[in-house]
Amino acid sequence: MKMNSEIKRVAKRIKSRGMNTEKVLSQGWTVCGVAPKRYYPIAANAVFGMNQQLEVNDPGFSQIKIPAKVPGTVHLALQENGYLPDLFHGDRVEQALWVEQWDWTYETEFEWEKGNKEEWVDLVFEGLDTVTEIELNGKWVAKTENMFHPHSFEVTSLLKKGQNRLKLFFPAHRKTIEGKPLDQFVSVFATDRVFTRKMQCAFGWDWVPRLVSVGPWKPIRLVRRNKARIVDVHLRSWDLTEKNVKVQCAVQVENRTSETLLGKLTFRDPEGKKVVELKATEREGQLDFEGGVENPEWWWPNGHGKASLYSCELILLDAKKAVIEEREWKHGFKSVRIEEIPDARGASFTLVVNGRRIFAQGANWVPADPFPASVTKERYDHLLGLAQEAGCNMIRGWGGGIYEKEAFWEACDRLGLMVMQDFAFGCAQYPERDLEFRRALEREFSWVIRYLRPHASLILWCGDNEGGMNQPDDVMYPGRIISKEISEPLCALLDPDRPFIPTSPFRGKTTNNSEDIGDCHLSFWWNEEFLLSDMKNYRERAESLSGRFYSEAATMGSVSYRTLLKFMTQEEAEAPDKRVLELHTRNCEYGPSRLDPKLTFFSSMEKGANLIYGESKSRRELIGKMAYLHYEVNRLTIESLRRRLWDCSGILFWMYNDCWPALGWANVDYYGVPKAGWYAMKNAFRPVTLSTKREGDQLQVTLSNISSKTVQGKVRVRFQPWVGKARIDTVTALEVSGLNTVMIDPVNLSLVKRGEEGIWVFDWSSRSGEARTLYYAAGMPGEMKLPQTTIQVKRVEAGDREGIEIRATSYARVVTLEGDALFSDNYFDLIPGEKKRVEWKKVPQGKGKIELSAWNSPLQTVN
């Protein structure tokens, strides 16, 4: 039935004469590059983490003309045609610095047929990166200077019947900023980015090298307009109850006729059934629809209910009821606000969706590629599907990236992933008083608010990333003028139903970035005092976390050794100088080296792995411990914050995904393979989790339930020696109400004799799920005297997945599966005699064998 109705709607569009149509210009493109007369040095702090200037080498040729894909960028075209190597492998990225110093021209030819007299034609660029001079048939069209929003120009008079030529000229980046007072602005990693409305991390960050590319990174279209066009649509819903929700939709149109236009707006429920049809008549360029939807299904964040989406179909008709234009989109009925309840030390900071408190759990999203033109819908679906699988309910769109493509937002809507979206500023002073810059921001912000507001997943606007960090929130810190005079007023005007904060972190008794009020960018791991210490108190530091909402909690951990060999040779991975390992961990002058010249991002992870888990006998063993470090820090962080439910109301790790192959911050690697940190999120983000806190010889155990349902189950507490059965073993029936925590009786650690080797194991089991946490009370984990164990593997049936059942003869420490797959569990300890089933499915383009090991068991192949 649903398919038949869709066929009828398509047939109706085809039959409608005069309907607006388009031609996508994606074929026959070439790109031509011309070398500069000389190469200018580039600030190396954005490339190598050093304070020095780097002379850019001449590539040995002065002109290039090659085929190019559109959408695309110059770097991608150069790689496809053999002028650049694989920039993600080894140290080859150093060979690409010359590209940004050349001028580049994209050209194509296309056929065109003239239309009727009522018709006009718009040339629409969905995204041009960045400064672009446009010519059509040798005639000037326009100059654009913003990567983030589309550009549209009427070109009716410039088009001719038959062959037409379109040319896009992208001048070298240094030319576009000549004469700008860059020395007046403080900016991390690179100062030449502050005047350029471009993905800020393209200039280098502490997780991606400098790759300043150019090109039409989104589609280019010629759109035939007939009579009129839809300019803007704003659908609002309010008074949401179980019985009804009110809706209002304002549609702005450009009408080039004397006719009065008509409109029809149809709502279909999540199953495709028509529930409401509203009609409106144009008045002074606007159509206003009003009505209601009965018995609405609400949009809920992941873990709290269905992310229900209604289909909205808008049709614009002329006076004779012929279709002029159609639009379709999804709408989720929800309400959102920030709850801030004052208390003795400040105030809470809690998201309330549909009247229910939500403990936000997730991570920060960065561009999934240095060249975002290459990111496909399938890649978005995979990465964001992993976020849902891990129990995330929130993603933060970080300000140094881009406003992501529609496929990103459609996936977040569908998967129930709330999004906190920064405006595109990060870690810099910007020319806030420059009139031309401000006008550009007004155009950008007006577009991005209209672009994103239809999405149910958009939950919160934020003015910038860290503009006001560690500054009083009542002064004009960097970015405050922009948010106070541009972004905040525009959000209030164009999207008044969502909260807005001027910067992140925001609020504090003295400065922004407080643990007592507002959101914060803090973590126990990324702390100067801790990094310089012997790290023996790492668990106590995790237990003492006291922030209200961690919109950035920075934790690090390596990729697996198998992933490492995808972007460097084994010789580079094993090299004593670790140069390529350091290069792919992207150290910088703002990192730990400013505390200790010998302490880089890589060596800080190495230090943590060695101090906490013991010295390694091989590089592969070291990488494995550096990977597991991510798991343990994430786990301890989540458990600590969940224990303080509603005193703390959220944790978003820095960061979720990787922009290029790197070792450090991301929880999912560049290739879409979950790292150890992701598995920690998956286990600790469960609706019901256990956590521990040591107080002398007692261990406080807390059960946290962030779901809305009361749950009944059992808590099992045991002390498990490395070999044999548990020596202490108790089971307690327990009930924990929704959105609440409960403590069980403290565990007396002195019940275990001094020197008796083993670990405390805490298990929760119920009809709705299970959870486990572990506590080693005898010292640092590296002091465990574990016997070698044998892991037995048995293949099992798992439908369209692969599966194994495993058991160990004695305690198996950090059982690890490596391969291009999403495993149902990983990086876990296995109790003697315990059977565990693990299933997996290969990630997209995944290949190769699956290997299994433990820290006290040798490597073996399981398929």
The DSSP result for 384-434, as a single string, is HHHHHHTT--EEEE-TTS----HHHHHHHHHHT-EEEEE-S-BSB---TT-
Residue 415, CB-side half-sphere exposure with 13 Å CA sphere: 25
Asked if pLDDT for residue 718 goes beyond 80, the answer is yes
Strands 360-365 and 650-654: parallel
% of residues, the chain, pLDDT over 70? 97
User: Average of pLDDT values for 500-522?
Assistant: 94
Task: Tell me the per-residue pLDDT of 785-815, one tens digit each, with 9 for 90 and over.
Answer: 999 999 999 999 999 999 999 999 999 999 9
Answer for the pair 814, 827: CB distance below 8 angstroms, yes or no. yes
| 3-class DSSP state of 139 | strand
DSSP, res 795: E
Query: What is the band of 476 on the pLDDT scale with cuts at 50, 70, 90?
Result: confident
User: Average of pLDDT values for 200-224?
Assistant: 96
Which residues, in sequence order, are bridge partners of residue 765? 714, 770
As a whole number of angstroms, the distance between CA 274 and CA 676 comes to: 45
- Predicted pLDDT at 8: 43
313 alpha carbon, distance to own chain's centre: 29
User: Average of pLDDT values for 110-131?
Assistant: 94
Task: Tell me the per-residue pLDDT of 265-306, one tens digit each, with 9 for 90 and over.
Answer: 999 999 999 999 999 999 999 999 999 999 999 999 999 999
- Predicted pLDDT at 592: 80
User: Average of pLDDT values for 840-855?
Assistant: 92
- Predicted pLDDT at 590: 73
- Predicted pLDDT at 598: 86
DSSP, res 645: B
Answer for the pair 212, 9: CB distance below 8 angstroms, yes or no. no
Task: Tell me the per-residue pLDDT of 589-620, one tens digit each, with 9 for 90 and over.
Answer: 777 878 888 899 999 999 999 999 999 999 99
As a whole number of angstroms, the distance between CA 412 and CA 346 comes to: 32
- Predicted pLDDT at 52: 57
Asked if pLDDT for residue 198 goes beyond 60, the answer is yes
Three-state helix/strand/coil letters over 245-289? EEEEEEEEEEECCCCCCEEEEEEECCCCCEEEEEEEECECCEEEE
Asked if pLDDT for residue 472 goes beyond 90, the answer is no
Strands 500-501 and 458-462: parallel
Higher pLDDT, 9 or 827: 827
- Predicted pLDDT at 42: 83
As a whole number of angstroms, the distance between CA 563 and CA 623 comes to: 11
- Predicted pLDDT at 75: 98
User: Average of pLDDT values for 104-115?
Assistant: 95
DSSP, res 504: B
- Predicted pLDDT at 586: 85
Asked if pLDDT for residue 141 goes beyond 60, the answer is yes
| 3-class DSSP state of 473 | coil
- Predicted pLDDT at 480: 94
User: Average of pLDDT values for 389-405?
Assistant: 98
As a whole number of angstroms, the distance between CA 640 and CA 741 comes to: 12
- Could you tell me the end-to-end alpha-carbon distance of the chain, in angstroms, rounded to an integer? 44
- Predicted pLDDT at 44: 55
- Predicted pLDDT at 591: 76
| Short-list 296, 229, 310, CA closest to 268 | 310
The residues near 217 (Cβ < 8 Å, ≥ 6 apart) are: 71, 72, 73, 127, 128, 129, 147, 371, 372, 373
Average pLDDT, the chain: 94
Higher pLDDT, 11 or 634: 634
- Predicted pLDDT at 831: 96
- Predicted pLDDT at 204: 92
- Predicted pLDDT at 6: 44
Query: What is the band of 510 on the pLDDT scale with cuts at 50, 70, 90?
Result: confident
Please count the other Cβ atoms lying within 10 Å of the Cβ belonging to residue 692.
22
As a whole number of angstroms, the distance between CA 415 and CA 308 comes to: 10
Indicate yes or no: pTM above 0.85: yes
Amino acid sitting at position 8: K
User: Average of pLDDT values for 187-197?
Assistant: 93
Task: Tell me the per-residue pLDDT of 67-104, one tens digit each, with 9 for 90 and over.
Answer: 999 999 999 999 999 999 999 999 999 899 999 999 99
- Predicted pLDDT at 318: 96
Task: Tell me the per-residue pLDDT of 304-346, one tens digit each, with 9 for 90 and over.
Answer: 999 999 999 999 999 999 999 999 999 999 999 999 999 999 9
Answer for the pair 125, 151: CB distance below 8 angstroms, yes or no. yes
Answer for the pair 165, 108: CB distance below 8 angstroms, yes or no. yes
As a whole number of angstroms, the distance between CA 438 and CA 793 comes to: 63
Sign of CA dihedral 375, 558, 773, 841: positive
Give me the residue label for tokens 């059965």.
Answer: 725
